[in-house]
Structure 1
């Protein structure tokens, strides 16, 4: 990434724009270089967007995800179709609901 002055910055687990400080903080905590798979990174992107965007609910109509990978010395750009983004959002919402239910159950036992 580069800023308007042209200075180069980091490109792994970073973001720019509104609420970027909160997003970068989340990414620093959860992104593990050389351990995070592409699927894990896609799920993490949805999690960070969900926590930092000023909207009630993420939808595939409002979120686009793209990946860059290297294959045979070439850079491959892939824009995820809406159904894949929707599946990532649904998986995130399910995990959040399960975590919330577990938290409530733990509080009730205390």
Structure 2
């Protein structure tokens, strides 16, 4: 069974498995030679979903990624626009090449292959 860092329990009691996660210093897999621990991204920060009817990908902010929790999410569009994803449950469209910033420190490149 995966450790709790990989499978956060949601308020509904359901458990979601994270595809991307950042290790804390107390995690058994943490290696300080590979980098510092990331304390700015929560276990329930954001998720990406695909809508087959629209043939589009969307980012949704979770509770852990909201400014009220001291966190934030930004999407840096390929058009140079910057979108703050700070409304719970709202769909923010993603396009190939967009950059997603989590917690003001971590950037992910969104690519469709």
Q: TM-score, normalised on structure 2?
A: 0.32
Structure with the largest fraction of helix: 1
- Give 1 or 2: higher strand fraction: 2
